[in-house]
Amino acid sequence: MTGREIGARVHLGQAAGHPTDERRKEETRMSEHQDAPKGHTAHAVHEDHAAKGPHNPKEINPKMSSDIAYWSKEFGVSGDKLHELIRSHGTHVDKVRAAV
């Protein structure tokens, strides 16, 4: 093969290791997972942790919205008020309860 022929093949995208677009399309096959249409199933309904109870009955985790919701309802205060109480008195339930 002459340099000119190699240059022509490179220009046309036929150099070694570079299949043409037609061959590339033939080689690209979708897996069986991608071929079949995906059926939709409903997501599981999220449990209401506030109704079930806290994750730890002795400590309030201020980063968990379910704990804030539960303990706010339990103490009869807003979430913001509960955060203030936690900042002032700590996360131990008995200390927060005494402060309310």
Q: Over the stretch 83-99, which tens digit does the pLDDT of each residue have?
A: 999 999 999 999 999 99
Does 14 reside within a domain? yes
- Containing structural domain, residue 85: 49-99
Structure confidence at residue 19 (pLDDT) = 57
Residue 10 covered by a domain: yes
pLDDT in tens, the chain (100 residues): 666 655 555 555 555 555 565 655 555 565 565 665 656 555 444 455 545 788 899 999 999 999 999 999 999 999 999 999 999 999 999 999 999 9
Q: Are residues 53 and 21 in the same domain?
A: no
Of 48, 45, 84, the residue nearest 67 (C-alpha):
48
In a domain, residue 63? The reply is yes
27 and 60 in a single domain? The answer is: no
Rounded CA separation 15/34 (Å): 31
Burial of 71 (0-12, 13-18, 19+ CB in 10 A): buried
pTM equals 0.50
What is d(CA 18, CA 96) in angstroms, rounded to the nearest whole number?
70
The verdict on 20 and 58 lying in the same domain is: no
Q: How far is residue 82's CA from residue 68's CA, in Å, rounded to a whole number?
A: 7
For residues 59 and 91, membership in a common domain is answered with yes
53 and 27: one domain? no
Residues 6+ apart with CB under 8 A from 53: 70
pLDDT at 47: 52
Task: Based on the fold, state whether residues 26 and 56 are members of the same structural domain.
Answer: no
Residue 81 lies in a domain: yes
In a domain, 36, yes or no: no
Quote the number of domains for the chain: 2
Q: Residue 8 domain-assigned?
A: yes
Position 52 scores a pLDDT of: 74
Residue 53 has what pLDDT? 81
